[in-house]
């Protein structure tokens, strides 16, 4: 924040616009990562967790619709007391934590990088003078 005060007003505006844009990009990528990560956890890691495409409902609460027991194509019966079913919320929490930390870290690094580029651009001034496409050397 201290370095931002050294910027010219036009550069501060560009930095603010960059921060907003990169926040939306990282948010979109984070939501995509959460969605694909959830599918990966359900399909590959926690295979006993209820999946309507792979499991058949055996026992269900008729009022709330909560599924109590289900079985797979091999006839294995799973309940909510199954270890993989109980660990699924912890796996999701870990996924959310990792995606959040990576997103925040990427946002911070990209904003700092852009800030440094703006500071160097101001420090060095505008691009070097050109004469007919060739840099002048004085």
pLDDT digit string (tens) for 22-55? 999 999 999 999 999 999 999 899 988 888 888 9
Q: What is the pLDDT of residue 128?
A: 47
Q: What is the pLDDT of residue 108?
A: 96
Tell me whether residue 41 is in a domain: yes
Q: What is the pLDDT of residue 1?
A: 56
Is residue 104 scored above 80 in pLDDT? Answer: yes
For residues 14-24, give the mean pLDDT.
95
Tell me whether residue 7 is in a domain: yes
Tell me whether residue 66 is in a domain: no
- Helix H, strand E, coil C: the string for the chain is CCHHHHCCHHHHHHHHHHHHHHHHHHHHHHHHHHHHHHHHHHHHHCCCCCCCCCCEEEEECCCCCCEEEEECCCCCEEECCCHHHHHHHHHHHHHHHHHHHHHHHHHHHHHHHHHHHHHHHHHHCCCCCEECCEECCC
Tell me whether residue 68 is in a domain: no
What pLDDT, in 10s, does the model give residues 111-124? 999 999 988 888 88
Task: Give the burial class of 49: count Cβ atoms within 10 A of its Cβ; 0-12 exposed, 13-18 middle, 19 or more buried.
Answer: buried
Q: How many domains does the chain have?
A: 1
Is residue 133 scored above 70 in pLDDT? Answer: no
Domain range for 40: 3-47+83-122
């Amino acid at each position: 924040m201290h370095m931002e005060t050294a910027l010219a007003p036009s550069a501060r505006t560009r930095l603010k616009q960059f921060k907003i844009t990169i926040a939306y990009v990282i948010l979109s990528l984070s939501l995509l990562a959460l969605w694909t990560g959830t599918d990966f956890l359900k399909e590959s890691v926690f295979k006993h967790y209820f999946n309507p495409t792979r499991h058949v409902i055996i026992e269900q609460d008729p009022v709330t619709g909560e599924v109590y027991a289900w079985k797979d194509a091999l006839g294995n019966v799973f309940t909510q007391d199954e270890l993989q079913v109980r660990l699924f919320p912890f796996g999701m929490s870990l996924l959310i934590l990792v995606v959040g930390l990576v997103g925040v870290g990427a946002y911070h690094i990209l904003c700092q990088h852009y800030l440094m580029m703006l500071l160097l651009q101001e420090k060095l001034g505008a691009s070097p003078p050109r004469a007919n496409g060739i840099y002048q050397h004085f």
